[in-house]
Structure 1
């Protein structure tokens, strides 16, 4: 099952829930990030 959760804060890509697992992260400010943007070193643009 694939369900759209929202858009990445960094790059604007669609972030999905795949079979019950979020394909990204939500930070402490409740912003949604794709896994590619979340893995970038802090301070780089997404």
Structure 2
């Protein structure tokens, strides 16, 4: 089953729940796609 959860708050890409697994990251109350989450981790604090 594929359900739309929302959009990445950084780039706007659609985030889906695929058979019970979130196709993205829920972090600090935000939903991000894997690509944007990876970029955020690499940014210096």
Structure 1 runs (4+) deviating above 6 angstroms are: none
1:5-28 CA-partner distances (Å, limit 9, x unpaired): 000011000000001000001112
Alignment gaps of 5+ in structure 1: none
Partner of 1:27: 27
TM-score (norm 1): 0.81
Superposed CA RMSD = 1.2
Partner of 2:12: 12
Greater fraction helix: 2
